[in-house]
Structure 1
Amino acid sequence: MKRTKESTRQIVGISSRCPQCNLQWMIELLSSDFSELVSEVTYLPISNDNSDKWEKKIQGCSIGILYHSLNHGRINITDVEGSLYDKELLYMSQCLGKENVMVVLDDIEQPNKEETQRIQRTQPSINNCSSLLLLTANKDKETDFLSQINAISELLNRGKYLHSMGNQPSKIFAHSLGRTDRHSKQTQSFDDGATPQSARKSPNLNIPCSQKYSVGVFSRCAQSNYDWLVGLLTSGDFGNLVREVHAVEISNDYSEFFSAINNYTFAILYHSLNYGRLSITNVTDSLYDEHLETLSKCLGKEKVIVVLDDLEDSSSEEKRKILHEQPSIERYSQELLLISETEKKAGINNSHTMQGKLEKLKQTLETRPKSHPSSSFTHENFSSTEARPSWSDLATGASGINMIPGWYPPESTENPPCTKGEGTTPSPADTAQVSAPVSKGLGSDGPPINNQVLDMLDQILSDVKQIDKKISSQTRQLEECKEEISKLTRQNEELKKVFQEFEDSKKNHCELCSQHKKKKEESEPDLQPHSSNAVALINNSTP
């Protein structure tokens, strides 16, 4: 599969464990309807004994499609027991980049939005290692496929830059950060399969689509409260700045929120007064303390804003009051926007204050910071006074509680613990702050993180993923045990009823026996006189 630098069309590789006849319809569709974007479509079979050969063929592609049919077995792509494509999808994401990988699940009974979200929720690696999940039905496959023609065309266009760079993502990532090729290879698998943040967030990449933001609106409120905001961001006014907008529901599952951040390059933390009082941060029962801090550390303060909606007062005085009472909003976000009910009802065109706030939102999106979180682990990208996020901070969260099971920070080489005989015993406060060594090592005065730590963190993240799989499997087993216990409980209740019926029957039988015995005893005295008279007659008749 050779290609020339002059070619701007894509070489698409469709990988699957299913036979080619199952996906021939998609090969023909890509070759015909997308011929202006696609130069070649090839089938790459996956088996347990051809992994090396398959990997070499993937390296010759600019776009990767992972295909699976329900007719070949259940939808066990990743993250479940007996999953079929864990390693393959991860490799495709690392080799081609997440933005150039899509997953197609065929012969689905109900290929709707709810089923798509269910699959993404139960098998999160699909979302982490690909940019598009497409479901097609047993009938009208072409119709279902072409219903996403805009998203597919955008994905095919994204591959042009990768194509021109010789399909070597490590070089692209290193070029965007000014790193050496050696360093880029060392950090290529750092995020355990997800697209390296440097590729997604660097404004220097010469990819038109990547210059636009993927915006996530994070909130505990129902999406209906901020549909107006999503619609505004997807309108033509923000077309040059925003590529896509998605609603992200915040629940009490912090790990789910943490894993969702990787899908976005800009975050809006939204809250409506209709949901309750404005308890964002720094107050009793605050709703977003850890979430706002984590967004800031992962994406950068410059790429986080807070929107408070449905207020009675959206004046500058009210804004200063909120920032004074809840200072973390200003610390971890670039801008705070207050929106009143009156402003929304008046409409954007009729409200000068609303227009001014939307202009602030545009300016925030247009701001391209010199440094960004993707390169936050290199010392030279930060000033001496700028606080830098560490993996210790991200793992422990705002409360200092370890959010990643099995993760412990490495010991600092600058301040090794005292050994026996050196005369100093660590205080309880020192031993309690287990994250202090790494925080100091990555702080404003510390050295850049070394390769050994990167390798260790990569291994830790891999272990966490395996632990998560085991927990999911054990959870399913626990649910099955609960169902079995419930079934046995119902059977036990039925046996109790049968036993009670038997006891009642036995009791009735005993009562009948007693009545019969009593009648028999009452009839025996009547027989005695007749027998005496008979004896007397016999004696009198004897000579």
Structure 2
Amino acid sequence: MSWNPWSQITQSRKKHVVGITTRAPENSCRWLQDFIRREYPDHIDVVHLPITNDNRDDWKEIVNACSAVILYHTKQQGRVNITDVEGALYEEELQYLNDKLGKEKVVVLLDDMDDISEEEKRRILRTQTSLDRLSSHLILIPEKNKSETARKKLTEFRTALSEGVKTSQKKESSGFLSSLPSLPSLHSMFSRSSGDSENNGTKNNNKWECTGPPPAGSTSGKPSRPSQSPLPPYRIGIFSRCAESHYTWLLDRLKAPDRRRSLDIKTVCITNDYKTFSSGLETCQFGILYHTLKHGRLNITDIANSLYDGELREMSHSLGKENVVVVADDLKSNEPEEKEEILENQPSIATYAKDLFLFTEEEKCVGRLEAIREIIQRNLGRSRQPERMVV
């Protein structure tokens, strides 16, 4: 067989390997290989993994040696038929990538698209639902200005590549990966410094509330250690189409001082202007999606006239599922059976959020409030802020 990516992989012993797998000719995705090599010249190498009818075993073996994989398809091959539709090209391959690498390390890229809008992306995800279930991101690239568009979508690339790099050393393998020397983590490369984060935050006009311990140098019980710089505030966003007056009680509870790290809390009103939501999400590290039954009905996602389909998905992709919770307020019941019924009818909540919390109009349960705070507190020491492109 002429295809022999092992020779390239064994030359990449000091780099992490990202596979680009496709049924399209290699020259179709050459620009993507070159783009990734340019963006990460010292940390990542790229391997082309062709999918044919007679290389199944070899393909699986190479996939297992990759830190992350991009499933590539070009519309020049006919139509967008990745999975779930008649004549789908990649159903088995996408399932295998998810099973072996995990969802967070799989990206699907559709090239040469006529329309790369968010509306088109949502339409594709509605008709080919396995894309959401089995991959972390769907990226649309036009026929022209490919690299320029890809650079604007670096957040999506970096999230998946970062997850692949951070976990690749933990994979048990009797082959290539087990013989690799210890490799440097890309986590710092993909994380914005606290100074950059602060500078970006000052440009945002969304409402911020700050709470927590006094800054270093202020009068407190113990003098601060000069050798230790205070951690930057942990930024929490509450996103909703409802009026802020509905969740003042939640804001007040979150403002209670946290002994470990100060919290910045901002509220973002979701409207039909996507830029408002997007700019609010840019500077958050943790997101709470809030909805109240007083707004009409409990139509968060997956049902007719749902209000937050795109927003919940984007919060999960941008912040990570572990850093997103959903709050449903002013219900008649907050019993476990009610929660189970909601999750059954609106399954995307469980797909894209860490948990769903129910509150009744009469009772804002202290236990559930503390559970939210506990999720936030667990993230304080390991918080990450993916670098985002300023377009």
TM-score over 0.5 (shorter chain) = yes
Structure 1 residue 334 corresponds to structure 2 residue 368 = yes
Match of 1:322 among 356, 362, 377: 362
Indicate the residue corresponding to 2:85 in structure 1.
80
Structure 1 residue 20 corresponds to structure 2 residue 26 = yes
Indicate the residue corresponding to 2:39 in structure 1.
33
* Distance in 1 of aligned mates of 2:87 and 2:162: 34
Structure 1 residues 11-54: Cα deviation after superposition (integer angstroms, max 9, x where no partner): 0111101000111111111112221331x211111122221121
**Cα gap change, 1:303 to 1:5, in 2 (>3 Å):** farther
**Cα gap change, 1:214 to 1:81, in 2 (>3 Å):** farther
**Cα gap change, 1:73 to 1:167, in 2 (>3 Å):** farther
Indicate the residue corresponding to 2:377 in structure 1.
366
Q: Please report the RMSD computed on the Cα atoms of aligned residues, expressed in angstroms.
A: 4.9
Structure whose alpha-carbon radius of gyration is higher:
1
Structure 1 residue 224 corresponds to structure 2 residue 235 = no
Indicate the residue corresponding to 1:290 in structure 2.
341
Where relative contact order (Cα < 8 A, 6+ residues apart) is larger, the structure is 2
Structure 1 residue 269 corresponds to structure 2 residue 327 = yes
Superposition map of 1:149-168 within 5 A: 149-166=154-171
Pairwise CA distance, 1:94: 1.2
Structure 1 residues 68-122: Cα deviation after superposition (integer angstroms, max 9, x where no partner): 1111121000111110000101111111111111111011001111111111111
Unaligned runs of 5+ in 2: 1-5, 174-185, 192-233, 244-268, 292-298, 380-391
Match of 1:50 among 49, 55, 71: 55
Structure 1 residue 105 corresponds to structure 2 residue 110 = yes
* Distance in 2 of aligned mates of 1:4 and 1:31: 15
**Cα gap change, 1:151 to 1:45, in 2 (>3 Å):** same
- What is the letter of the counterpart of residue 156 of structure 2? A
Superposition map of 1:171-182 within 5 A: none
Partner SS state of residue 32, structure 1? helix
- What is the letter of the counterpart of residue 33 of structure 2? I
- Judge conservation of contact 2:326–2:357 (CA < 8 Å) in 1: yes
Indicate the residue corresponding to 1:64 in structure 2.
69
* Distance in 1 of aligned mates of 2:79 and 2:38: 30
* Distance in 1 of aligned mates of 2:86 and 2:236: 32
- Judge conservation of contact 1:13–1:43 (CA < 8 Å) in 2: yes
* Distance in 2 of aligned mates of 1:216 and 1:128: 25
Match of 2:301 among 250, 264, 274: 250
Partner SS state of residue 43, structure 1? strand
TM-score, length-scaled by structure 2 = 0.55
How many pairs were matched up?
Answer: 270
- Judge conservation of contact 1:217–1:267 (CA < 8 Å) in 2: no
* Distance in 2 of aligned mates of 1:225 and 1:144: 24
Partner SS state of residue 58, structure 2? helix
Q: Percent identity?
A: 24
Indicate the residue corresponding to 2:252 in structure 1.
none
- What is the letter of the counterpart of residue 342 of structure 2? H
Structure 1 residues 325-346: Cα deviation after superposition (integer angstroms, max 9, x where no partner): xxxx749x8229xxxxxxxxxx
- Judge conservation of contact 2:290–2:326 (CA < 8 Å) in 1: no
- What is the letter of the counterpart of residue 46 of structure 2? V
Task: Determine which structure has the larger strand proportion and give its number.
Answer: 2
**Cα gap change, 1:228 to 1:119, in 2 (>3 Å):** closer
Superposition map of 1:126-165 within 5 A: 126-165=131-170
Partner SS state of residue 362, structure 2? helix
Pairwise CA distance, 1:230: 6.0
- Judge conservation of contact 1:13–1:64 (CA < 8 Å) in 2: yes
TM-score, length-scaled by structure 1 = 0.41
Partner SS state of residue 325, structure 2? strand
- What is the letter of the counterpart of residue 100 of structure 1? K
- Judge conservation of contact 1:13–1:65 (CA < 8 Å) in 2: yes
- What is the letter of the counterpart of residue 376 of structure 2? L
* Distance in 1 of aligned mates of 2:304 and 2:54: 39
Structure 1 residues 406-428: Cα deviation after superposition (integer angstroms, max 9, x where no partner): xxxxxxxxxxxxxxxxxxxxxxx
- Judge conservation of contact 2:114–2:143 (CA < 8 Å) in 1: yes
